[in-house]
Amino acid sequence: MASLGRHIIVEYYDCDPQLMNDVVHIEESMQHAAETAGATIINSTFHHFSPYGVSGVVVIQESHLAIHTWPEYGYASVDLFTCGGEVDPWVAYRELKSLFKAGHGSAVELSRGEMALLHEKEFDVKDLRDHKSHKDGTPVRTRDVWFTERDDRIALSLKHDGKLFSEKSDFQKVDVYDTRAYGKMLTLDGMVMTTEKDEYVYHEMITHVPMLTHPNPKRALIIGGGDGGTARELLRHENLDEVVMVEIDQVVIDACKEHLPEIAVALDHERLTLLVEDGLKYVAEAADESFDLVIVDSTDPVGPAEGLFSKTFYEGVHRILKKDGVMVTQSESPRFNQKVFKEIYQVYGEIFGAGQVHCYLAYIPTYPTGMWSFSYSSKGETDPIKHFNDSASEQFSKKHGLKYYNEAIHQAAFALPGFVKEMLNE
């Protein structure tokens, strides 16, 4: 060993300017580069400057990786410092070059701490070590940055203490974060799907509204819903003989069973038939008039869920519903996803008939804008207000100690603000 450490001073030019301003992408890239190079991450902290630019550092057991970006020049200045010989900083250099889509990069390597110039000193190790970290052993990986779900218009940030799970499945990036305000949180491709502290709003509203309206539901189908919250709520209804759930991604199921067990609690229930396959294909092949209720508990209309927002898919759902069957879908935020919102209600109207489709709302703080919508479409006569069983609803919500849904919310949820009505009537 000729020196203590290797320090590569890096310049990346002609990088993608958007990426150079994306603090989440930059942090994840730096962490990925560190891990790929064989380093052990201790901690990382990143800052997004106003109006633009990112600085951050990943502290690794073998030294650090640091970055400063100038998005307006598509430029990043990076330090890759490793010691110990096991970690190759050039691996990190190549990874980052590709992740930042850099046109070109240059780097110089310096040897840090030339052995020829170093002389060991006498000192008492015990006196210099912090007592607590010594006792605790391996350092815990903590992060003090924010998870941010963003598009080019708005962003929601949640502070977290690190990722408990992170895997790229065949379909999407599956992460579980330990957030400070909302407990454990599942994200798919960087979008919040569910959190321990507000999941009940979504899951109670997507299930109990149709279940306490339909006169006699026996067989229900969930498309998606891999976290298990929708299945858990449906299975509270003892009159349901069978719930079939079709989730495309086994990784989501496994991650939720391990890290979100209170949401995934019913995934092994005896009345649940859980199929890991493509919901589009399942609906296309299912028998006519075979379900009383179909719930589409999808992600947003990007990635693997895109097909679940297509007319062909909804026509299939209509076909497999019994004569008085009901379809309920999560229908995005009328405030945030206006285009998709209008389009899907247009399509539901064409398939089920305009008077058969109803929109209802719920307050979900961790989804973009907090205002979220659900659609209720009836193949037959069951109207969610006229045929809603007030006293059954009251009894049910009390018996199960529901935290959001109750008989008053059931009715109030269908009262729409003017701007939402306008969008639906356009």
Judged by CB under 6 A, the stretch of 121-129, 134-142, 223-231, 311-319 that binds ligand SPD is 223-231
373 binds ligand SPD (CB under 6 A): no
Interaction of residue 329 with ligand SPD, rule CB under 6 A: no
Q: Please give the helix or strand (H or E) that residue 396 lies within, else none.
A: helix 390-399
Whichever of 71 and 225 has its CB closer to ligand SPD, that residue is 225
Can you read off the two tokens belonging to residue 414? 């269908």
Residue holding tokens 């059931």? 410
Give me the least distance between CB of 191 and ligand SPD, in Å please: 5
**Residue 189 touches ligand SPD, criterion: CB under 6 A:** no
200 scored as a contact of ligand SPD (CB under 6 A): no
Catalytic residue among 297, 300, 383, 390: 297
Burial class, 200, CB count within 10 angstroms (exposed 0-12 / middle 13-18 / buried 19+): buried
- Cα-based distances in Å from 422 to 45, 167, 334, 380: 45, 41, 11, 25
Query: Which listed residue (34, 54, 76, 191) binds ligand SPD by CB under 6 A?
Result: 191
Could you tell me which stretch among 188-196, 237-245, 284-292, 379-387 binds ligand SPD (CB under 6 A)? 188-196
Our CB check for ligand SPD shows the closer of 95 and 227 to be 227
Gap between the Cα atoms of 210 and 327, Å rounded: 8
Question: How far apart (Å, rounded) are the C-alpha atoms in residues 222 and 202?
Answer: 14
Nearer to ligand SPD, 84 or 370 (CB): 370
Q: If 0-12 CB within 10 Å is exposed, 13-18 middle and 19+ buried, where does residue 285 land? A: exposed
Residues 297-316 that bind ligand SPD (CB under 6 A): 297, 299-300
Which C-beta is closer to ligand SPD: that of 105 or that of 225?
225
Binding status of residue 330 toward ligand SPD by CB under 6 A: yes
**For the chain, what is the radius of gyration of the CA atoms?**
26
CA-based nearest residue to 231, from 212, 251, 211: 211
Find the shortest distance in angstroms from Cβ 335 to ligand SPD: 12
Task: Please give the structure tokens belonging to residue 228.
Answer: 């298990």
Across-strand partners of 10? Answer: 78, 107
By CB under 6 A, which span of 17-25, 151-159, 221-229, 268-276 interacts with ligand SPD? 221-229
Residues 6+ apart with CB under 8 A from 208: 233, 393, 396, 397, 402, 405, 410
Q: How many residues bind ligand SPD (CB under 6 A)?
A: 14
CA 206 to chain centre: 18
Q: Quick check: 378 binds ligand SPD (CB under 6 A)?
A: no
Looking at beta carbons only, is 102 or 222 nearer to ligand SPD?
222
Strand, helix or coil at 361?
A: strand
Residue 381, phi then psi, degrees to nearest 5: -100, -15
Show the site string, 224-253: x = touches ligand SPD by CB under 6 A, - = not.
Answer: -x-x-xx-----------------------
Asked whether the beta carbons of 352 and 378 are under 8 A apart, the reply is yes
Q: Would you say 225 or 325 has its CB closer to ligand SPD?
A: 225
Q: In angstroms, rounded to a whole number, what is the distance separating the alpha carbons of residues 216 and 206?
A: 17
Select 29 or 366, whichever has its Cβ closest to ligand SPD.
Answer: 366
* 217 near ligand SPD, rule: CB under 6 A: no
One-letter amino acid of 160? H
- Report in angstroms how near the CB of residue 38 gets to ligand SPD at its nearest: 36
Q: Does the annotation mark 249 as catalytic? A: no
Kindly list the catalytic residues.
297
Residues that bind ligand SPD (CB under 6 A): 191-194, 202, 225, 227, 229-230, 297, 299-300, 330, 367
